Protein backbone atom coordinates (compact mmCIF):
# COMPACT_ATOMS: atom_id res chain seq x y z
CA UNK A 1 0.00 0.00 0.00
CA UNK A 2 1.22 3.49 -0.87
CA UNK A 3 0.19 6.85 0.50
CA UNK A 4 -1.71 8.65 -2.26
CA UNK A 5 0.46 11.26 -3.97
CA UNK A 6 0.09 14.19 -6.37
CA UNK A 7 2.90 15.48 -8.56
CA UNK A 8 3.13 18.48 -10.89
CA UNK A 9 5.26 17.70 -13.97
CA UNK A 10 6.89 20.12 -16.44
CA UNK A 11 8.15 19.25 -19.94
CA UNK A 12 10.27 21.58 -22.11
CA UNK A 13 13.00 19.46 -23.75
CA UNK A 14 11.95 19.98 -27.39
CA UNK A 15 9.06 21.76 -29.11
CA UNK A 16 6.20 21.03 -26.72
CA UNK A 17 5.69 23.03 -23.54
CA UNK A 18 3.63 21.04 -21.08
CA UNK A 19 2.45 20.97 -17.48
CA UNK A 20 0.33 18.29 -15.83
CA UNK A 21 -0.86 17.01 -12.48
CA UNK A 22 -0.88 13.27 -11.90
CA UNK A 23 -2.11 11.38 -8.87
CA UNK A 24 -1.46 7.85 -7.62
CA UNK A 25 -4.05 6.31 -5.33
CA UNK A 26 -3.23 4.19 -2.29
CA UNK A 27 -2.97 1.09 -4.52
CA UNK A 28 -0.35 2.84 -6.67
CA UNK A 29 -2.66 3.28 -9.67
CA UNK A 30 -2.14 6.47 -11.61
CA UNK A 31 -4.69 9.04 -12.72
CA UNK A 32 -4.15 12.14 -14.86
CA UNK A 33 -5.86 15.11 -13.20
CA UNK A 34 -4.79 17.57 -15.89
CA UNK A 35 -2.51 17.54 -18.92
CA UNK A 36 -1.94 20.93 -20.56
CA UNK A 37 0.22 20.88 -23.71
CA UNK A 38 1.13 23.71 -26.05
CA UNK A 39 2.78 22.64 -29.28
CA UNK A 40 5.20 25.06 -30.93
CA UNK A 41 4.72 23.53 -34.40
CA UNK A 42 3.53 26.84 -35.88
CA UNK A 43 6.65 28.68 -34.64
CA UNK A 44 9.03 26.16 -36.23
CA UNK A 45 7.10 25.11 -39.36
CA UNK A 46 8.64 27.80 -41.58
CA UNK A 47 12.13 26.42 -40.82
CA UNK A 48 11.24 22.76 -41.47
CA UNK A 49 12.44 21.72 -38.01
CA UNK A 50 12.91 22.85 -34.42
CA UNK A 51 15.01 26.03 -33.96
CA UNK A 52 16.51 25.79 -30.42
CA UNK A 53 16.52 29.54 -29.68
CA UNK A 54 12.91 29.96 -30.78
CA UNK A 55 11.94 26.91 -28.71
CA UNK A 56 13.62 28.20 -25.53
CA UNK A 57 11.95 31.61 -25.83
CA UNK A 58 8.56 30.05 -26.52
CA UNK A 59 8.92 27.82 -23.42
CA UNK A 60 9.58 30.93 -21.28
CA UNK A 61 6.37 32.53 -22.55
CA UNK A 62 4.18 29.44 -22.41
CA UNK A 63 5.18 27.72 -19.19
CA UNK A 64 3.71 30.04 -16.59
CA UNK A 65 0.13 30.12 -18.03
CA UNK A 66 0.29 26.37 -18.69
CA UNK A 67 1.18 25.63 -15.06
CA UNK A 68 -1.74 27.79 -13.90
CA UNK A 69 -4.01 25.96 -16.35
CA UNK A 70 -2.79 22.51 -15.21
CA UNK A 71 -3.35 23.37 -11.53
CA UNK A 72 -6.78 24.90 -12.23
CA UNK A 73 -7.95 21.92 -14.32
CA UNK A 74 -6.75 19.54 -11.60
CA UNK A 75 -8.62 21.69 -9.09
CA UNK A 76 -5.41 21.93 -7.04
CA UNK A 77 -3.54 24.67 -5.24
CA UNK A 78 0.20 24.27 -5.01
CA UNK A 79 -0.28 23.24 -1.34
CA UNK A 80 -2.14 20.13 -2.58
CA UNK A 81 0.91 18.97 -4.56
CA UNK A 82 3.42 16.59 -2.91
CA UNK A 83 6.36 17.11 -5.27
CA UNK A 84 7.41 19.09 -8.35
CA UNK A 85 8.99 17.21 -11.27
CA UNK A 86 10.67 18.72 -14.32
CA UNK A 87 12.44 17.12 -17.27
CA UNK A 88 16.18 17.56 -16.64
CA UNK A 89 17.20 16.25 -20.09
CA UNK A 90 18.07 14.90 -22.55
CA UNK A 91 17.07 17.60 -25.00
CA UNK A 92 17.73 21.11 -26.26
CA UNK A 93 19.68 22.72 -23.44
CA UNK A 94 17.91 26.12 -23.51
CA UNK A 95 14.46 24.57 -23.20
CA UNK A 96 15.55 22.09 -20.53
CA UNK A 97 16.96 24.97 -18.46
CA UNK A 98 13.67 26.86 -18.68
CA UNK A 99 11.57 23.97 -17.34
CA UNK A 100 14.14 22.87 -14.80
CA UNK A 101 14.59 26.38 -13.38
CA UNK A 102 10.84 26.87 -13.19
CA UNK A 103 10.40 23.51 -11.42
CA UNK A 104 13.12 24.28 -8.89
CA UNK A 105 11.77 27.79 -8.27
CA UNK A 106 8.25 26.49 -7.56
CA UNK A 107 9.65 23.74 -5.30
CA UNK A 108 11.77 26.24 -3.41
CA UNK A 109 9.01 28.83 -3.03
CA UNK A 110 6.38 26.26 -1.98
CA UNK A 111 8.75 24.24 0.21
CA UNK A 112 8.14 21.05 -1.80
CA UNK A 113 10.56 18.29 -2.87
CA UNK A 114 11.97 18.50 -6.41
CA UNK A 115 12.53 15.59 -8.80
CA UNK A 116 14.57 15.91 -12.01
CA UNK A 117 13.22 13.45 -14.57
CA UNK A 118 14.98 11.83 -17.51
CA UNK A 119 12.69 12.51 -20.50
CA UNK A 120 13.42 9.01 -21.88
CA UNK A 121 12.57 7.44 -18.53
CA UNK A 122 9.28 9.34 -18.61
CA UNK A 123 8.41 7.81 -22.01
CA UNK A 124 9.55 4.41 -20.66
CA UNK A 125 7.29 4.51 -17.58
CA UNK A 126 4.16 5.96 -19.27
CA UNK A 127 2.55 2.51 -19.88
CA UNK A 128 2.58 1.97 -16.10
CA UNK A 129 0.39 5.07 -15.83
CA UNK A 130 -1.92 4.17 -18.72
CA UNK A 131 -2.02 0.36 -18.46
CA UNK A 132 -0.75 -0.42 -14.93
CA UNK A 133 1.98 -2.63 -16.45
CA UNK A 134 4.33 -4.56 -14.11
CA UNK A 135 8.10 -4.89 -14.51
CA UNK A 136 9.92 -6.34 -16.38
CA UNK A 137 8.89 -5.33 -19.89
CA UNK A 138 10.50 -4.68 -23.25
CA UNK A 139 10.32 -1.04 -24.33
CA UNK A 140 10.42 0.09 -27.95
CA UNK A 141 11.22 3.79 -27.65
CA UNK A 142 10.69 5.54 -30.96
CA UNK A 143 10.76 9.33 -31.16
CA UNK A 144 12.27 12.18 -33.16
CA UNK A 145 15.60 11.81 -31.37
CA UNK A 146 15.70 8.16 -30.32
CA UNK A 147 15.18 4.61 -31.51
CA UNK A 148 15.96 2.18 -28.73
CA UNK A 149 15.01 -1.22 -27.40
CA UNK A 150 15.31 -1.30 -23.64
CA UNK A 151 14.72 -3.97 -21.01
CA UNK A 152 12.82 -2.12 -18.27
CA UNK A 153 13.44 -4.02 -15.05
CA UNK A 154 12.37 -1.41 -12.51
CA UNK A 155 12.35 2.34 -11.86
CA UNK A 156 15.89 3.48 -12.69
CA UNK A 157 16.87 -0.02 -13.83
CA UNK A 158 17.16 0.00 -17.60
CA UNK A 159 19.28 -2.11 -19.92
CA UNK A 160 19.65 -0.73 -23.41
CA UNK A 161 19.68 -3.68 -25.80
CA UNK A 162 19.97 -1.78 -29.06
CA UNK A 163 19.78 1.69 -30.55
CA UNK A 164 20.13 3.44 -33.88
CA UNK A 165 23.53 3.76 -35.51
CA UNK A 166 22.43 6.82 -37.50
CA UNK A 167 19.00 8.50 -37.78
CA UNK A 168 16.18 8.00 -35.27
CA UNK A 169 13.02 6.55 -36.80
CA UNK A 170 11.05 9.79 -36.22
CA UNK A 171 13.88 11.70 -37.88
CA UNK A 172 13.63 9.34 -40.89
CA UNK A 173 9.86 10.02 -41.09
CA UNK A 174 10.52 13.77 -40.85
CA UNK A 175 13.30 13.72 -43.48
CA UNK A 176 11.30 11.53 -45.87
CA UNK A 177 8.37 13.94 -45.50
CA UNK A 178 10.58 16.96 -46.16
CA UNK A 179 12.06 15.55 -49.35
CA UNK A 180 8.55 14.69 -50.58
CA UNK A 181 7.40 18.25 -49.92
CA UNK A 182 5.21 17.41 -46.91
CA UNK A 183 5.18 19.91 -44.03
CA UNK A 184 6.86 19.52 -40.63
CA UNK A 185 6.41 17.48 -38.46
CA UNK A 186 6.56 14.76 -41.08
CA UNK A 187 5.55 11.62 -39.19
CA UNK A 188 1.79 12.20 -39.06
CA UNK A 189 1.83 13.56 -42.68
CA UNK A 190 3.60 10.47 -43.98
CA UNK A 191 1.12 8.24 -42.16
CA UNK A 192 -1.79 10.20 -43.61
CA UNK A 193 -0.41 10.12 -47.17
CA UNK A 194 0.40 6.41 -46.84
CA UNK A 195 -3.28 5.61 -46.22
CA UNK A 196 -4.03 6.13 -49.91
CA UNK A 197 -0.78 4.61 -51.20
CA UNK A 198 0.52 1.26 -52.44
CA UNK A 199 3.06 -0.17 -49.95
CA UNK A 200 4.29 -2.70 -52.51
CA UNK A 201 5.10 -0.27 -55.35
CA UNK A 202 8.66 0.45 -54.17
CA UNK A 203 10.85 -2.28 -52.69
CA UNK A 204 12.79 -0.21 -50.17
CA UNK A 205 15.60 -1.71 -48.06
CA UNK A 206 14.96 -3.01 -44.52
CA UNK A 207 18.33 -2.13 -42.91
CA UNK A 208 19.68 -4.33 -40.07
CA UNK A 209 16.91 -6.94 -40.35
CA UNK A 210 18.06 -10.47 -39.52
CA UNK A 211 20.91 -9.28 -37.29
CA UNK A 212 21.28 -10.75 -33.81
CA UNK A 213 21.74 -7.45 -31.99
CA UNK A 214 18.61 -5.29 -31.92
CA UNK A 215 20.19 -2.15 -33.39
CA UNK A 216 18.55 0.10 -35.97
CA UNK A 217 19.66 2.05 -39.02
CA UNK A 218 17.37 4.34 -41.00
CA UNK A 219 19.58 6.59 -43.08
CA UNK A 220 19.83 4.08 -45.97
CA UNK A 221 16.04 3.82 -46.12
CA UNK A 222 15.71 7.61 -46.26
CA UNK A 223 18.36 7.77 -49.03
CA UNK A 224 16.50 5.10 -51.00
CA UNK A 225 13.32 7.20 -50.81
CA UNK A 226 15.24 10.25 -52.06
CA UNK A 227 16.80 8.36 -54.98
CA UNK A 228 13.48 6.86 -56.03
CA UNK A 229 11.73 10.24 -55.73
CA UNK A 230 14.43 11.85 -57.89
CA UNK A 231 14.20 9.03 -60.45
CA UNK A 232 10.43 9.38 -60.98
CA UNK A 233 10.20 13.20 -60.56
CA UNK A 234 8.05 15.24 -61.06
CA UNK A 235 5.95 13.55 -58.39
CA UNK A 236 2.18 13.20 -58.65
CA UNK A 237 0.00 12.87 -55.55
CA UNK A 238 -0.18 9.13 -56.23
CA UNK A 239 3.63 8.92 -56.37
CA UNK A 240 3.89 10.70 -53.00
CA UNK A 241 1.27 8.40 -51.47
CA UNK A 242 3.01 5.28 -52.83
CA UNK A 243 6.44 6.49 -51.66
CA UNK A 244 5.03 7.18 -48.18
CA UNK A 245 3.25 3.82 -48.01
CA UNK A 246 6.35 1.91 -49.20
CA UNK A 247 8.62 3.83 -46.80
CA UNK A 248 6.27 3.22 -43.87
CA UNK A 249 5.99 -0.50 -44.74
CA UNK A 250 9.79 -0.79 -44.66
CA UNK A 251 10.02 1.10 -41.34
CA UNK A 252 7.33 -1.13 -39.81
CA UNK A 253 9.14 -4.31 -40.95
CA UNK A 254 12.41 -3.03 -39.45
CA UNK A 255 10.80 -2.19 -36.10
CA UNK A 256 9.04 -5.56 -35.84
CA UNK A 257 12.20 -7.50 -36.79
CA UNK A 258 14.27 -5.55 -34.24
CA UNK A 259 11.69 -6.23 -31.50
CA UNK A 260 11.90 -9.94 -32.36
CA UNK A 261 15.70 -9.79 -32.03
CA UNK A 262 15.39 -8.13 -28.59
CA UNK A 263 12.85 -10.73 -27.44
CA UNK A 264 15.24 -13.50 -28.53
CA UNK A 265 18.03 -11.90 -26.48
CA UNK A 266 15.78 -11.68 -23.42
CA UNK A 267 14.35 -15.20 -23.74
CA UNK A 268 17.13 -16.55 -21.50
CA UNK A 269 16.96 -13.72 -18.95
CA UNK A 270 16.17 -14.81 -15.35
CA UNK A 271 12.84 -12.99 -15.70
CA UNK A 272 11.88 -12.55 -19.35
CA UNK A 273 9.48 -9.70 -20.19
CA UNK A 274 5.77 -10.45 -20.22
CA UNK A 275 4.82 -7.29 -22.09
CA UNK A 276 5.96 -5.17 -25.01
CA UNK A 277 5.52 -1.47 -24.54
CA UNK A 278 5.91 1.20 -27.22
CA UNK A 279 6.48 4.85 -26.39
CA UNK A 280 7.64 8.08 -28.03
CA UNK A 281 5.99 10.15 -30.75
CA UNK A 282 6.35 7.51 -33.50
CA UNK A 283 4.37 5.03 -31.38
CA UNK A 284 1.31 7.10 -32.33
CA UNK A 285 1.58 5.61 -35.85
CA UNK A 286 -1.37 3.33 -36.61
CA UNK A 287 0.53 0.95 -38.94
CA UNK A 288 3.22 0.47 -36.29
CA UNK A 289 0.61 -0.09 -33.56
CA UNK A 290 -1.17 -2.74 -35.64
CA UNK A 291 2.08 -4.53 -36.51
CA UNK A 292 3.14 -4.63 -32.84
CA UNK A 293 -0.31 -6.01 -32.01
CA UNK A 294 0.27 -8.89 -34.45
CA UNK A 295 3.77 -9.52 -33.05
CA UNK A 296 2.48 -9.69 -29.46
CA UNK A 297 -0.42 -11.99 -30.38
CA UNK A 298 2.08 -14.33 -32.02
CA UNK A 299 4.63 -14.13 -29.16
CA UNK A 300 2.05 -14.43 -26.37
CA UNK A 301 2.96 -11.03 -24.90
CA UNK A 302 0.80 -8.33 -23.46
CA UNK A 303 0.96 -5.14 -25.53
CA UNK A 304 0.78 -1.70 -23.94
CA UNK A 305 0.45 1.31 -26.20
CA UNK A 306 -0.25 4.65 -24.54
CA UNK A 307 -2.95 6.65 -26.37
CA UNK A 308 -1.36 8.81 -29.14
CA UNK A 309 -1.54 12.00 -27.02
CA UNK A 310 0.58 10.34 -24.33
CA UNK A 311 3.07 8.89 -26.87
CA UNK A 312 4.21 12.33 -27.98
CA UNK A 313 5.81 14.70 -25.45
CA UNK A 314 3.54 15.74 -22.59
CA UNK A 315 3.64 16.78 -18.95
CA UNK A 316 1.74 13.78 -17.55
CA UNK A 317 4.63 11.46 -18.38
CA UNK A 318 7.08 13.73 -16.52
CA UNK A 319 4.74 13.98 -13.52
CA UNK A 320 4.27 10.20 -13.47
CA UNK A 321 8.01 9.41 -13.70
CA UNK A 322 8.61 11.98 -10.95
CA UNK A 323 5.93 10.30 -8.85
CA UNK A 324 7.44 6.84 -9.40
CA UNK A 325 10.85 8.10 -8.28
CA UNK A 326 9.50 10.18 -5.40
CA UNK A 327 7.57 7.30 -3.85
CA UNK A 328 10.82 5.31 -3.82
CA UNK A 329 12.37 8.11 -1.76
CA UNK A 330 14.30 9.64 -4.67
CA UNK A 331 14.49 13.40 -5.14
CA UNK A 332 17.05 15.91 -6.38
CA UNK A 333 18.80 19.00 -5.06
CA UNK A 334 18.67 22.57 -6.36
CA UNK A 335 22.16 21.96 -7.80
CA UNK A 336 20.83 19.53 -10.43
CA UNK A 337 22.16 20.84 -13.77
CA UNK A 338 20.39 20.45 -17.13
CA UNK A 339 21.71 17.51 -19.15
CA UNK A 340 21.63 17.83 -22.94
CA UNK A 341 22.68 14.16 -23.08
CA UNK A 342 21.40 11.66 -20.53
CA UNK A 343 21.44 8.01 -21.57
CA UNK A 344 18.78 5.88 -19.91
CA UNK A 345 21.07 3.25 -18.47
CA UNK A 346 23.35 5.85 -16.85
CA UNK A 347 21.03 5.48 -13.85
CA UNK A 348 22.75 2.14 -13.25
CA UNK A 349 25.99 4.02 -12.66
CA UNK A 350 26.20 4.86 -8.93
CA UNK A 351 27.82 8.23 -9.72
CA UNK A 352 24.52 9.36 -11.21
CA UNK A 353 22.31 8.42 -8.29
CA UNK A 354 20.52 11.24 -6.51
CA UNK A 355 22.64 14.15 -7.70
CA UNK A 356 23.85 15.59 -10.98
Q: At what angle do helices 219-232 and 237-266 cross, to 10 degrees?
A: 160
**Residue 210 Cα distances to 171, 214, 260, angstroms:** 23, 9, 9
Which is nearest to 214 in space by CA: 138, 287, 156? 138
Q: At what angle do helices 315-326 and 119-131 cross, to 10 degrees?
A: 90
> Given phi > 0 = left and psi -120 to 50 = alpha, else beta, which region is 91?
left
Question: To the nearest whole angstrom, how small is the minimum distance from the Cβ of residue 281 to Zn ion?
Answer: 6
Distance from C-alpha of 69 to C-alpha of 32, rounded to nearest angstrom: 14
Distance from C-alpha of 257 to C-alpha of 206, rounded to nearest angstrom: 9
The answer to whether residue 11 forms part of the interface with Zn ion (CB under 5 A) is no
- Interface with Zn ion (CB under 5 A), residue from 40, 118, 130, 143: 143
Which residue, 18 or 83, is less far from ligand KG4 as judged by CB?
Answer: 18
The answer to whether residue 16 forms part of the interface with Zn ion (CB under 5 A) is no
Question: To the nearest whole angstrom, how small is the minimum distance from the Cβ of residue 352 to ligand KG4?
Answer: 21
The answer to whether residue 215 forms part of the interface with Zn ion (CB under 5 A) is no
Question: To the nearest whole angstrom, how small is the minimum distance from the Cβ of residue 168 to ligand KG4?
Answer: 7
- Interface with Zn ion (CB under 5 A), residue from 23, 174, 242, 313: 313
Which residue, 202 or 216, is less far from Zn ion as judged by CB?
Answer: 216
DSSP-assigned states of every residue in 202-225: S----TTTT-SS--B--HHHHHHH
Which residue, 39 or 274, is less far from ligand KG4 as judged by CB?
Answer: 39
Which residue, 9 or 187, is less far from ligand KG4 as judged by CB?
Answer: 187
**Residue 144 touches which of Zn ion, ligand KG4, none (Cβ within 5-8 Å per kind):** ligand KG4
Question: To the nearest whole angstrom, how small is the minimum distance from the Cβ of residue 56 to Zn ion?
Answer: 17
Distance from C-alpha of 33 to C-alpha of 315, rounded to nearest angstrom: 11
Question: Which of the stretches 250-258, 297-305, 307-315, 335-343 binds Zn ion when contact is defined by CB under 5 A?
Answer: 307-315
**Residue 173 touches which of Zn ion, ligand KG4, none (Cβ within 5-8 Å per kind):** ligand KG4
Question: To the nearest whole angstrom, how small is the minimum distance from the Cβ of residue 59 to ligand KG4?
Answer: 14
Q: Are 303 and 296 in contact (CB under 8 A)?
A: yes
Quick note: the x/- pattern for Zn ion over 261-290, rule CB under 5 A, is: ------------------------------
Distance from C-alpha of 227 to C-alpha of 6, rounded to nearest angstrom: 52
Amino acid sequence: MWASLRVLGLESTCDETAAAVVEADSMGRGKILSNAVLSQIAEHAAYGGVVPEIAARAHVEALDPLIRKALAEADCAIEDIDAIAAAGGPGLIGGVMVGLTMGKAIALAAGKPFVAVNHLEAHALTPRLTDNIDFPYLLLLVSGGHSQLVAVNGVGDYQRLGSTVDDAVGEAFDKAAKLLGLPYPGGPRVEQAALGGDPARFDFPRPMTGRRNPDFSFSGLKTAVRQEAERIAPLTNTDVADLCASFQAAAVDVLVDRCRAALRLLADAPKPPTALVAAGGVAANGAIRRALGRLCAEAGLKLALPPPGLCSDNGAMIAWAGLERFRLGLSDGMDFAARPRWPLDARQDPRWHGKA
